[in-house]
Each structure stands twice: as structure tokens, then as C-alpha cells.
Amino acid sequence: MSYVPMTDKDREQVRDLLRGAYDTHVHVDPDLIERRTDDLNLAKAFLDNGLKGFVLKSHYFATVERAKVVANAVPGIHAFGAVTLNHAVGGFNPVLVDVAGRAGARIIWFPTVDAANETAGREDGPVTNKLPFWAKIQREIHARGIAPAPLSVVDDEGKVRPDVQTCLELIKEYDMTLATGHLGKAEIFALVEAANQIGVKRVVVTHALFPAEQFTVDEQVRLSQMGALIEHCYTTFYTNKCSWETLFASVKAVGPDKCVLSSDLGQKVNPSITEGFFDFAHQFLAAGFSPADVRRMAVDNTTLLVEPDYVFN
């Protein structure tokens, strides 16, 4: 199935269907990369469209304090902060995870731009005109000679590192959500298993069909059977990094109850976050998924990631 444009009537349908949803993966200003909108205007757009809230993601900074300012400045919006364990915040930094948990952060992403598996931002990385927006920053940092070694959650024997284990224990203690970032496949399996062993309640495999991961259907099923939710982001498919057919086949195999939809939007060249989020739901409906399936992935499962006591039928 190819992309199906969304009409005004379609938009109204999905707007009603997604009422109360969270987008748990957005990139907005203020940021090192120029974004399409900022967090305050995003909050207003979400309220205007019946969406409940969002999680602010940054590759470089903790966003939990920002999120609290947004929630206070725009009454009615639910904005949550997060941390991505890249070098800018000390990598696998248990102190940061601890204070983030104390402050109310909801998601801890493991390394993205500094992951050993992610080569786009390294000087010896791919030569292409289609690098991610953050790759230029990363390459400039490397050129200055101040970049530490890329981050992996496992040691040379494939075992989860002690500092990573401590971070997992803190994620469990503060009942936060673990997201796998741009780690490699073997690392993600090891991390999910380690999280399971100590009882981390919510684990998300970040954009499972993004080129940095590209999990097969069988691998996604295995991870879901280990208790992880499988995240799919609108940008991956809108920008043709993976086909819509592959997405729909993956979700059917894993099951909508084990999948999460988010936008990963905020880039200036892409649609607005609300329009992209609505279009994502529309593509699933056009492909034959039921409204209940779409609501489970985009409303129930996203809410579960940020409201630990959330219960749905």
C-alpha cells in the first residue's frame, strides 16, 4: 500500500479518535538545531487539537525543568521531561538519572547521537548529503578533539556495564520509562533482558524500523515477548527511510497492543507535529487497521508511558 493523502474529513475523524493522546517523542525549540516550533506554541497547538500532552526530547539537554515551565505557562497541557544519556549529560550518569527521577522525568533514552551503533555524526561516518541535522554538530565536536569514545551499554564480553546497570535500577526506583535510543540490535536485546530481570515496568524500543536499528519482524516480535513496546515514528516513513508496507506488516505481526505511535517531528522541513501525528493515524486507518487499534497505539500506550497508574480496557 502506498501513502494515502489525508482529506479535511479524514483529519476530523482522526482528531476525534486521538483526543487525549500524548506524543512521547518530539523535538522542538529551544534546541541546538533550529526547529519548526517551540515548546510553548506546541502546547497551545496540542490544546487546540484535543491532544493531552507530550514528552520533550533533546539529544543534548535534560528537559524536565523546561517541561514544568511549559505546563505552568499553558494551563491544561501535560508536558513531561526526559533525559538522553549522551556525552553532553555525562553518558551513563547515575547521578543525572537519579536527579531526573526526583524531578519527575518520565523517559530515560539511552544514547542516540553518541551511540557506538550510530555513525552518522562521526568523522569516519557515511559520506552523504542526507545526514541527520544533528550530524554536523557531532562532527564539529569530533573535529575539536573533545569527543569521548562512542557509548555502548555492553562490555567486550557482551554483558551490560555496571554503570548501565545502576541507571536501570534508578529507572525502576523512580518508575520511569526506558527507551533504547540508537543502540545496536545486540545491545538492545541485552538491555531489555537486563531491565526485565530487575523489574523495570516500561521499556520502549525506539523507532524500531529506523535505519540505525531496522529490526526484522521476528526480532520485533521477540522483543515484544520480552515485555518491550515497539515504537514507530512518523518521520521514519514520511521521509521514506522505510516503507509503509513494512510498517503495517510489522505492526500486524507484533500486535497493536504492543506498539506505540509517536511523531519524532519538529524538523523545519517536515510537517507540523500535530499534522504529522494525525496523518500517522490516518495512514493506519487507510491500511485497514481499526479505530480501536489506532487508539490503543496512539492514546492508551502513549499514556501508559507517562502516567504509570493509567488503566485502560
| Least confidently predicted of 57-71, 121-135, 195-209, 249-263 | 121-135
- The whole-angstrom distance between residue 26's C-alpha and the CA centroid of its chain comes to 8
Is 241 contained in some domain? yes
Is 2 contained in some domain? no
Residues 103 and 65 sit within 8 Å (Cβ to Cβ): yes
Q: What is the CATH number of the domain that holds 165?
A: 3.20.20.140
pLDDT tens digits, one per residue of 196-205: 999 999 999 9
Residues 204 and 229 sit within 8 Å (Cβ to Cβ): yes
> What are the distances in angstroms from CA 133 to CA 212, 266, 269, 293?
15, 11, 11, 33
> How many other CB atoms sit within 10 Å of the CB of residue 78?
20
Is 312 contained in some domain? no
Which residues, in sequence order, are bridge partners of residue 160?
A: 154
**pLDDT reading at 312 higher than 90:** no
Within the chain, strands assigned E span 22-26, 53-56, 78-80, 82-84, 107-109, 177-179, 202-205, 229-233, 259-262
Residues 80 and 305 sit within 8 Å (Cβ to Cβ): no
Report the amino acid identity of residue 223: L
What is the C-alpha to C-alpha distance for residues 260 and 23, in angstroms, rounded to an integer? 10
Is 12 contained in some domain? yes
Percent of the chain surpassing pLDDT 90 = 94
| pLDDT category of residue 28 using cuts at 50, 70 and 90 | very high
Residues 161 and 155 sit within 8 Å (Cβ to Cβ): yes
Secondary structure of residue 253 in the 3-state scheme: helix
- Distance separating the N- and C-terminal Cα atoms of the chain: 30
> What does DSSP assign to residue 96?
H
pLDDT score recorded for residue 126:
82
Domain residues for the domain of 210 are: 8-306
Q: How many domains does the chain have?
A: 1
**pLDDT reading at 2 higher than 90:** no
| Least confidently predicted of 127-141, 234-248, 277-291 | 127-141
| Least confidently predicted of 120-124, 210-214, 227-231 | 120-124
Mean pLDDT of all residues belonging to the chain = 96
Residues 39 and 70 sit within 8 Å (Cβ to Cβ): yes
pLDDT tens digits, one per residue of 105-164: 999 999 999 999 999 998 878 887 778 889 999 999 999 999 999 999 999 999 999 999
> How many other CB atoms sit within 10 Å of the CB of residue 68?
15
What is the C-alpha to C-alpha distance for residues 22 and 200, in angstroms, rounded to an integer? 21
Is 148 contained in some domain? yes
What is the C-alpha to C-alpha distance for residues 138 and 146, in angstroms, rounded to an integer? 11
